[in-house]
Amino acid sequence: MMGTVIRNAPEPSRTRINAWVEKQTAGRIRDLLSSGSVDELTRLILTNAVYFLGRWVNQFKVKDTHDAPFRTPDREILVPTMHQADAFRFCENDELAVLEMMYRGGNIAMAILLPRDKDGLPAFEERVSTNGIDRWLDQLRGQPVTVAIPKFKIDPPDPIHLTSTLAAMGMPLAFDRNSADFTGIADPPDPQDRLFISDVIHKSFVNVDETGTEATAAAALATRCLSVRPTTAREFRADHPFLFLIRDTRSKTILFIGRVTDPRA
């Protein structure tokens, strides 16, 4: 994490922070802070960045990648889709199917949560919780699975501003100049000089292909999964919007989470 005081040099500080983020994310995230976003009233910017590059244990063969239909919220499109049949951790029920693919050299894996309903992702997101995700992932079992998942890239051109989202989630006072209490950081005599959060900015990049995943970022249901060992391979075909997450399978810590509604960048 980088903390920078920029009271007397807003533009040089912005440039310095952007350079640090770009370096930490191997050049994938540039210009996190746009021109004019830092001014003479800014007192402190806390910045963090994370970068992940993983190779699949079971890599896909490029020759097995070919265009296949994918149902976006608006229409059906053709996208490059990776195929293979191997042993994966998998479970399913009437609402969704879950596939986990391990990365080499550790305990990091990607899990894809695919609603059965091709248009069911929004409703699923409304009900899903961390506890629910853990329950499904705890039921994953190794078994033969025929897999088809699209190559996808997430690289939004502009950062996301999270102030309204975080306020709605339960921390509105931090963004209110009259109510925020950061006196543990700075307690000036004039109340007008007290700190409050003016903005929270987030940007991410994720690229999934035949060899693995490159990901970087700056800034519960009662149903159970069926995980019996079948005599024939299960099929997992991600041909409509889904959730994905990258996690440490030992600690169950989620490192990245996102949705794919259109695999094209």
Domains of the chain: 1-47 (no CATH), 53-154+205-260 (2.30.39.10)
pLDDT of 6 reads 54
19-26 long-range contacts (CB < 8 A, ≥24 apart) are: 20/47, 20/49, 21/47, 21/49, 21/218, 24/49, 24/50, 24/51, 24/218, 25/49, 25/51, 25/205, 25/216, 25/218, 26/51, 26/53, 26/216
Q: Exposed (0-12), middle (13-18) or buried (19+): which is 164, by Cβ within 10 Å?
A: exposed
Longest dimension (CA), the chain: 73
CA angle, corner 264, sides to 158 and 57, nearest 5?
105
Kindly list the averaged pLDDT for each block of 10 residues, start to end, along the chain of length 265.
Answer: 61 87 87 83 80 90 96 94 94 92 90 94 84 84 94 85 88 86 80 81 88 77 40 86 93 90 86
Per-residue confidence (pLDDT) for residue 25, from 0 to 100: 86
pLDDT of residue 233: 75
The confidence score (pLDDT) of residue 228 equals: 45
Q: Answer yes or no: pTM beyond 0.95.
A: no
Instruction: Return the pLDDT at 223.
Output: 33
Q: How far apart are CA 50 and CA 84, in angstroms?
A: 30
pLDDT of residue 4: 53
